[in-house]
Amino acid sequence: MGLGSAIPLGYVLLFSSYALRVSWANGLLALQLLLVAGACFKPLSTLRGKWRLVVALGLLWIAVLTLGRGILGAFTDLYPSFLAPHPWNVAAMLMTNLLPLMVNFAMLGGWHEDAEAALQQQAITDELTGLLNRRGWLQAGKLLIANSNRTAQPMALLMLDIDFFKQINDTHGHEAGDRALQALGGLLLANRRASDVAARIGGEEFCLLLSGSHAASAQQIDARLRTALPQLAVELGFPINFSSGLAMHRAGQTLEDCMREADHALYAAKNSGRGHLESASGPGHPTCSH
């Protein structure tokens, strides 16, 4: 913004000197172009398409040609006017018309890439909690399970279900139920590692896939989540609790196998008083872990 203001201001103040006004305007314009070209390599998004390189190189060429015109106008008699037939000036005019077309096509490609990525993210994200939805969970979870099968690293799956969720909706309203879901979703996001996968797989049911974790680590995470529940109750204005089931991945198991065991353990927790964790020692054989 500073450069954009300085270019016309300096051009007016230096208008009486052709050499100074030409060098000032072209030099600062070249600097502007270089700043934009550099910004192509520091994107705010994670997109790294080839279109960024096209934009950067196009702007770089325009900057070099513009700077050259400024040098010719300031230090030589080869650029006495804007339409001077000097080869550098002719090349600058040609490229200044051609390169923006290339840059625009590249930016349209980037917009398409950005939009496609946004739609993909939308398709796998639960709108209410910001966690992965069931589709995203299956995509990411299957990759982690496949990696665990390949490397023999431990993997734990926690399945959580908010206790008496219907009662929360009936007593406090559906808006309060949504806030409860958001609160637990935020709690999972805050306590997961970058390598973990957290998802809302449906209704009031959540899953947390813990890469490289043993049962003891998963139980500690479950306990840590529960220590935050009193604070959540204060923020929500009503108490909230959850039951959970833990399954440890075994060699050769699929994600669905682990979910089935965790689901059995979860229902065992709900049938034995709720508000605690049950660990599955094997298919259909949960063991209590209050």
Catalytic annotation on 204? yes
Residue 74, token pair as written in the block: 């300031």
| Residue 279, C-beta contacts closer than 8 angstroms, at least 6 positions apart | 215, 219, 245, 246, 247, 248, 265, 286, 287, 288, 289
Which of 114, 103, 97 lies closest to 53, judged by CA?
A: 103
- The one-letter code for the residue type at 136 is G
Q: Given 175, 204, 256, 278, which residue is catalytic? A: 204
Taking the alpha carbons at both ends of the chain, their separation in whole angstroms is 61
Bridge-partner residues for 244, per DSSP? Answer: 160, 277
Do the Cβ atoms of 144 and 207 come closer than 8 Å?
Answer: no
Do the Cβ atoms of 170 and 207 come closer than 8 Å?
Answer: no
Strand duo 242-248 + 277-280: pairing: parallel
Which of 275, 278, 138 lies closest to 200, judged by CA?
A: 138
Which residue is associated with the tokens 């070209």? 37
Can you tell me the distance from the alpha carbon of 62 to that of 96, in angstroms, rounded to the nearest whole number?
6
User: What residues act catalytically?
Assistant: 204
